[in-house]
Amino acid sequence: MILCVCNGLTERAVRSALSDQAAPPTVADAYRACGCSRICGTCAAAMRDVVKAERARRSNATCNAD
Ligand code: FES
Distance between CA atoms of residues 10 and 5, nearest Å: 9
- pTM for the model stands at 0.85
pLDDT of residue 48: 96
pLDDT at residue number 21: 83
Q: What angle do CA 26, 5, 54 make, to 5 degrees?
A: 30
Q: Are 45 and 62 in contact (CB under 8 A)?
A: no
Instruction: Split the chain (66 residues) into runs of 10 and give each run's mean pLDDT.
Output: 96 93 90 96 96 91 70
Domains (range + CATH), the chain: 2-65 (1.10.10)
pLDDT of residue 23: 86
Test site for ligand 1: of 37, 38, 50, 51, most ligand atoms within 8 A of the Cβ = 38
The pLDDT value given to residue 38: 96
Please tell me the distance between residue 66's alpha carbon and the centre of ligand 1 in angstroms: 39
